[in-house]
Structure 1
Amino acid sequence: MNAFSLSDLWNGPLGAVLSYTIILSILLVNLLVSIRLLLTRRKIGYFSLMLSLLILMTQYVQLTVFEFTQDQSDVSNFVAMLLKLLSFLLINTGMYQLYNPTKWKDSVVFLLCLGVTIAVSATYWFIPDWLQGGGEQIPMLKPLGMDLYLFLLIFVSFLLVNPRIGQNGKYQVMLTLYFCSHMIHMANMYLFGNSQTVLTKFEQLIPMAFHLVLFLFIFERIIEIMQAIYHSSITDGLTKLYNRKYFYNRVAQHIAQKINVSVIFSDIDNFKKLNDTKGHHMGDLVLKQVAQIVKEEAEEVGICGRYGGEEMVVLVTDSEVNANELAERIRTRVEAETIVTVSMGFSRYSKNISADELIKQADEAMYKAKTSGKNKVVAF
């Protein structure tokens, strides 16, 4: 019974093994998610994360073996420290790559950091004469260079990686936890000779929090990807307005609920001539300018969309908004702020009307505006 006392769970090898097992479980989940993302997204950042997680798992397997074998040889200690440095370097590289395109300059910086890491790791085996002490001090001083270098990597990550990625809050929490864990490790090792059981326990517990936040970071990235995919499926890539299918579905939803809505249909005047004389680049620029004006005027009172080509539409969902006045404001701004004009028509909801009929009525009103002089608003 004594072998399974609460004291052993806190201070003994069993407690350390339990902590490492929990961390390994979290790492395994993170690894499976990273592999899945790598296979579906084909982004190098997920490969870097996957590699760092494999290294971390190797490190914690090694630490678990330490607790059973009590093997604290120079080689095993060196391997543990090297794995720790490489995993930290790769995790931060992967997080940077998730939010930034990988350029050759980034590859050079990574290779430079990798080279410095290997060079610093070599100091484990070559202690300067002025640092050498007694027989008990030499083993303690061997990892000093690698430990100090890890502090440098933490601060570099704060300065270089943090401003260039999303989820800054989670990332800062992760680095803070890692910094605290490493600081406790150094204090316990170099000040107390690993004799403080409380500090040793914190060395085991804080990484659990770090890896939990890492899991939340990766999970949040999945949500961001899903949102981006959904957003791209319902919006027009050029104007950033909703696409035709989404707009039609929203009109149908409101009509099915018998909500008093209006549809505004607009078409840029002489757009084909603009493309032919000034090129498609100018045409795209005008489309974006007009779309921005439509969005600024209408997005708080309705839903804006690109219906096709140079046609833009608005579903006015606010019953207190006068569709004629809204269309006129859009027409006036387009004429004043761009090199084109727009012809606009609108229709209002009436009993037993369908979504197709409501949109068709607005289209017909727009066509009437276009054939009767252009640059005007016509009601159906």
Structure 2
Amino acid sequence: MQILSLSDLWSGTLGSIVSYIIIIVILLVTLLVSLRLLITRRKIGYFSMLLSLFLLIVQYMQLIQFQLIQTVDETAAFMALILKISAFVLVNTGIYQLYNPTKLRDGLVIGLFGLATAAVASSYWFIPGWLEGSDEQIRQMQPLGLELYLFVLLFVSFLIVNPRIGQNGKFQLMLTLYFCAHLIYMANKYLFNGNQLALVKLEEVFPMIFHIVLFLFIVERIIELMQAIYNSAIKDGLTGLFNRTFFYNRVNQHISQNIAVSIIFSDIDNFKKLNDTKGHQMGDQVLKQVAQIAKEEAEPDGVCGRYGGEEIVVMVLGTTADNAAVAEKIRARVEAETIVTVSVGLSHYRTPLKTEELIKQADEAMYKAKTTGKNKVIAYS
């Protein structure tokens, strides 16, 4: 019985089959991740990605079959090339759709590329009469049009898809790996008749790295989406501050551990008048400016939230005097750096106050500041 060596697993037919199996395993894992996304989010980009991964798996299973039978007829070779091009187009379409909504214009562009692919594919079977050469030379020229077309698709992907997605570095790396793999394949086929073992292995290694990067690309996109969902659940969309529920829970967490905190409750003075006279866009801009000032003054240990409307709340740690100084800095900076002023209320945690009572005290102090002249800080007493 012949014993397999490491060199057998690297070179020859067996080495190629092992490489293709590794790629199929990577593709299956990537497909499962994309399937999970499709089920949970039902976005068309995941369907395009899923379909492209399925085609890639079929493509590499076909390559394994070619290695086993060693002889490939023209029709099978043509179908393999069409499969490769279709998978590449769908991968790029899926990547684009992961970051962009699908519009009618996008469908038209994809349709045009489909027509272009069909037109180029016809060159496989209809060789111009002015080309002269032996039957073997003509046969070798048949796939040249489609193989050169792949370079055009790579260039178009870089121009159209790359500027409109995230993770540009990974995407550019993927295109570079694909370009190198295809260039090596072309060089080995047309210059060395496929007999350079080193080039054959590079043809297999580059796609392997390509699919690993594709897997990492999709995983990172999942992380981005999860982070976006989490942020939308805990943050206010306009100001970027934490929402009321999250802020309340953070205050409650500190109080349950008997940690001394202070609540700064601020409300923009004459905000309704500002909206009525200068428009809601100006109101939103001012609200964001005040939120940024409060956030900067609360860092690094404070927590800022939008409590409702033009009300911004801050939880800060430290001594009573220090926290009163933070409240005054917020008021002074808003007056100096924006076109509005704020009325500020301040309350300090004392046992056995509860979260609702502590925030309510700060709210009452703010109301007192607003009804006794505005643009001032008043501590609850």
TM-score (norm. length: structure 2): 0.91
Q: Could you give the per-residue CA deviations for residues 80-128 of structure 1, whole angstroms, max 9, x where no partner exists? A: 1111111111111111111122222222222222221221122111233
Alpha-carbon deviation of 1:361? 2.5
> Structure 2: where are the runs of 5+ without partners?
none
Contact 1:301 1:318 in 2 (8 A): no
Deviates more, 1:124-133 or 1:48-57: 124-133
Q: Which residue of 2 aligns with 1:203?
A: 203
Q: Which residue of 1 aligns with 2:247?
A: 247
Aligned partner letter, 1:168: N
Secondary structure class of the residue paired with 1:139: helix
Deviates more, 1:356-365 or 1:228-237: 356-365
Once residues 61 and 186 of structure 2 are traced to their aligned partners in structure 1, the CA distance between those partners, rounded to angstroms, is 22
Once residues 128 and 297 of structure 2 are traced to their aligned partners in structure 1, the CA distance between those partners, rounded to angstroms, is 71
Secondary structure class of the residue paired with 1:315: strand
Contact 1:301 1:321 in 2 (8 A): no
Residues 317 and 88 of structure 1, relative CA distance in 2, 3 Å threshold: farther
Q: Which residue of 1 aligns with 2:367?
A: 367
Q: Could you give the per-residue CA deviations for residues 142-178 of structure 1, whole angstroms, max 9, x where no partner exists? A: 1111111111211222232222211122212211211
1:225-236 map, 5 Å: 225-236=225-236
Deviates more, 1:269-278 or 1:291-300: 269-278
Once residues 228 and 309 of structure 1 are traced to their aligned partners in structure 2, the CA distance between those partners, rounded to angstroms, is 23
Alpha-carbon deviation of 1:280? 5.7
Q: Which residue of 2 aligns with 1:165?
A: 165
Once residues 47 and 299 of structure 1 are traced to their aligned partners in structure 2, the CA distance between those partners, rounded to angstroms, is 43
Once residues 221 and 9 of structure 1 are traced to their aligned partners in structure 2, the CA distance between those partners, rounded to angstroms, is 34
Contact 1:263 1:315 in 2 (8 A): yes
Alpha-carbon deviation of 1:300? 3.9
Alpha-carbon deviation of 1:7? 4.0
> Structure 1: where are the runs of 5+ without partners?
none
Secondary structure class of the residue paired with 2:346: strand
Once residues 5 and 74 of structure 1 are traced to their aligned partners in structure 2, the CA distance between those partners, rounded to angstroms, is 34
TM-score (norm. length: structure 1): 0.91
Contact 2:317 2:323 in 1 (8 A): no
Q: Which residue of 2 aligns with 1:43?
A: 43
Secondary structure class of the residue paired with 1:316: strand
Contact 1:302 1:318 in 2 (8 A): no
Secondary structure class of the residue paired with 1:127: coil
Deviates more, 1:327-336 or 1:142-151: 327-336
Alpha-carbon deviation of 1:221? 1.1
- TM-align CA RMSD: 2.5
Alpha-carbon deviation of 1:274? 5.3
Alpha-carbon deviation of 1:299? 4.2
Alpha-carbon deviation of 1:374? 1.9
Once residues 256 and 155 of structure 1 are traced to their aligned partners in structure 2, the CA distance between those partners, rounded to angstroms, is 59
Aligned partner letter, 1:76: A
Residues 277 and 6 of structure 1, relative CA distance in 2, 3 Å threshold: closer
Percentage identity across paired residues of the two chains: 65
Once residues 140 and 90 of structure 2 are traced to their aligned partners in structure 1, the CA distance between those partners, rounded to angstroms, is 26
Residues 2 and 192 of structure 1, relative CA distance in 2, 3 Å threshold: farther
1:107-126 map, 5 Å: 107-126=107-126
Contact 1:140 1:189 in 2 (8 A): no
Alpha-carbon deviation of 1:24? 1.4
Contact 1:263 1:316 in 2 (8 A): yes
Contact 1:26 1:215 in 2 (8 A): yes
Secondary structure class of the residue paired with 2:267: strand
Once residues 188 and 132 of structure 2 are traced to their aligned partners in structure 1, the CA distance between those partners, rounded to angstroms, is 20
Once residues 8 and 257 of structure 1 are traced to their aligned partners in structure 2, the CA distance between those partners, rounded to angstroms, is 64
Q: When the two structures are aligned, how many residues end up with a matched partner? A: 380
Aligned partner letter, 1:369: A
Once residues 355 and 164 of structure 2 are traced to their aligned partners in structure 1, the CA distance between those partners, rounded to angstroms, is 45
Alpha-carbon deviation of 1:270? 3.8
Residues 68 and 305 of structure 1, relative CA distance in 2, 3 Å threshold: same
